[in-house]
Amino acid sequence: AQSVTQPDIHITVSEGASLELRCNYSYGATPYLFWYVQSPGQGLQLLLKYFSGDTLVQGIKGFEAEFKRSQSSFNLRKPSVHWSDAAEYFCAVGAYSGGGADGLTFGKGTHLIIQP
Amino acid sequence: DTEVTQTPKHLVMGMTNKKSLKCEQHMGHRAMYWYKQKAKKPPELMFVYSYEKLSINESVPSRFSPECPNSSLLNLHLHALQPEDSALYLCASSSLGTSGGNLADTQYFGPGTRLTVL
């Protein structure tokens, strides 16, 4: 079975500073990896995704992530955070069987706090 | 357009009530999902409709009953719920698309229904 680990429950970053959120996955085949962001009481918004090809993927809101198969990692980065980036961030892996989707398995999430 | 809509936004119900949550997408997606999210926890998959076939998470109690009237609509019928069922219920959809011959599927989520069971 697949699993996702986000080792940091909370991260505090000063506005304007760089950000890296860590994600490690466990999956037997080629992983399909995603980062979602969730503001309080809201749904999940897709930031970016990796299926294949270029291991550095660009997303919305200035985010990027790098897939490293050797480290089973898919870390999310942003060069300069804004106060509006404060939210909960979820890394997820997709599983598929028999041509149909089996849903996403999420990490526990990282709560991002932005200091002024 | 990647919009998934959910109604109602908030729902308060008693343990003897019967209610339904509704989800709709007009993106032509062929899979739809229900997730349950407790406070400060990640979403957990409840049900998947894929190619009009239902997949059930065996741990989901029978007081939750999904229905897919057509490819654009997904309902979740609620009956005899317990207070511990209070949560944010998220609907998602995906195209089951491919890229380079491989499955390349992305789930898009609705805003959720905040359910409180008294």
Tokens encoding A101: 């989707």
pLDDT of residue B50: 82
Local structure of residue A116 (DSSP, 8 states): -
Q: Considering chain B, what is the average pLDDT of its residues? A: 89
State whether B42 and A43 contact (CB < 8 Å): no
Sign of CA dihedral B7, A34, A26, B103: positive
pLDDT of residue B32: 92
Q: How confident is the model at residue A39 (pLDDT cuts 50, 70, 90)?
A: very high
State whether A94 and B41 contact (CB < 8 Å): no
State whether B55 and A99 contact (CB < 8 Å): no
Parallel, antiparallel, or unpaired: how do β-strands B98-99 and A110-115 relate?
unpaired
pLDDT of residue B100: 55
- A86 vs A15: CA distance, rounded Å: 10
pLDDT tens sequence across B89-118: 999 998 876 655 556 678 999 999 999 999
pLDDT of residue A31: 81
Please tell me which of the candidates B43, B105, B108 has its beta carbon nearest to residue A96. B105
Question: Side-chain half-sphere of A86: how many Cα atoms within 13 Å?
Answer: 12
- % chain B with pLDDT above 90: 64
B58: buried, middle or exposed (CB in 10 Å: 19+, 13-18, 0-12)? Answer: exposed
Please tell me which of the candidates A43, A49, A103 has its beta carbon nearest to residue B106. A49
**Cβ contacts of A105 on chain B, cutoff 8 Å:** 45
CB B52 within 8 A of CB B32: no
Q: How confident is the model at residue A6 (pLDDT cuts 50, 70, 90)?
A: very high
Give A102 or B43, the one with higher predicted confidence.
B43
Give B75 or A95, the one with higher predicted confidence.
B75
Q: How confident is the model at residue B64 (pLDDT cuts 50, 70, 90)?
A: very high
pLDDT of residue B108: 92
Q: Considering chain A, what is the average pLDDT of its residues? A: 91
pLDDT tens sequence across A50-104: 988 889 999 999 999 999 999 999 999 999 999 999 999 999 998 665 545 678 8
Task: Mark out chain B residues that contact chain A at CB-CB < 8 A.
Answer: 2, 4, 6, 31, 33, 35, 40-45, 48, 50-51, 53, 55, 88, 90, 92, 94, 96, 99-100, 102-112, 114
- Segment B74-94 mean pLDDT: 95
- B113 vs B36: CA distance, rounded Å: 10
Give B96 or A44, the one with higher predicted confidence.
A44
Q: How confident is the model at residue B2 (pLDDT cuts 50, 70, 90)?
A: low
- B77 vs B49: CA distance, rounded Å: 15
- B88 vs A7: CA distance, rounded Å: 24
Please tell me which of the candidates A52, A107, A109 has its beta carbon nearest to residue B99. A52
CB B93 within 8 A of CB B31: yes
